[in-house]
Amino acid sequence: MLSTIWNTVLYQPLINALAFLVSIVPGGDVGLAVVILTILVKLILFPLSQKSIESQAEMNILAPELNKIKASGASKEEQAKQTFDLYKKHNTNPFSGCLLILIQIPIIFALYYVFLKGIKFDNGLLYSFVYVPANMNMVFLGILNIGVKSLPLAIMAGISQYLQAYYMPQPAASSTSGSDFAASFAKSMQTQMKYVFPFLIAWIAYSVSGAVALYWITSNLFMVGQQIYVKKEKNFKIVIK
């Protein structure tokens, strides 16, 4: 049942979209089709990911007020009430970002799986109006072969992952960070995302194929642009207020 839903709702539409793009891009450049498909999926998910990034940015803006509540010495019940009132006043839901991320994960993973499985088009998966591309060129822009392992693309994937983590909204510092496990854990995760995860992504990208690396590069650079946009927009709104 789950495999049927996976193929019908996620994997099959994406593999058909990729086949269609390969058939219309100049020279049947599969790498170019990978970039276009990744951008199209990111654009479809843009409202969800935008809200998720905004939610994190809003939580950082409210951090000083949250720290004041923690340091007030009020009872746990009173702190919870004040925190709820603060979220209500600023129309902020601290859990919305997590929920939106969970919604995106299956779609992003399906897109990743399309490239991980290999750029092979099976008539059994293609719709009746989508045909196997007559020309498939695996050399991206005539420079890099994405059908095999690519060290340059793997390195660029790692660098793009670092940039994505660098521009991600930073967890706000807590006035009780020394004893606050949640704050310490968030800081630790942020450090790993910035300095450890890029090496992991580069290693994975090199272990599979250039197509996966190209997917990571495109996806990460798109997120960098989106995060910069959200930061500027939030700063503008703060100035206006």
| pLDDT tens string 58-101 | 666 666 777 777 777 677 777 777 777 777 776 666 665 565 56
What gap in Å lies between CA 151 and CA 219, rounded to an integer? 18
Give the number of domains in the chain. Answer: 1
CB atoms within 10 A of CB 124: 6
Query: Is the pLDDT score of 119 beyond 60?
Result: yes
Domain span holding position 83: 2-240
**pTM for this predicted structure:** 0.74
What gap in Å lies between CA 29 and CA 216, rounded to an integer? 18
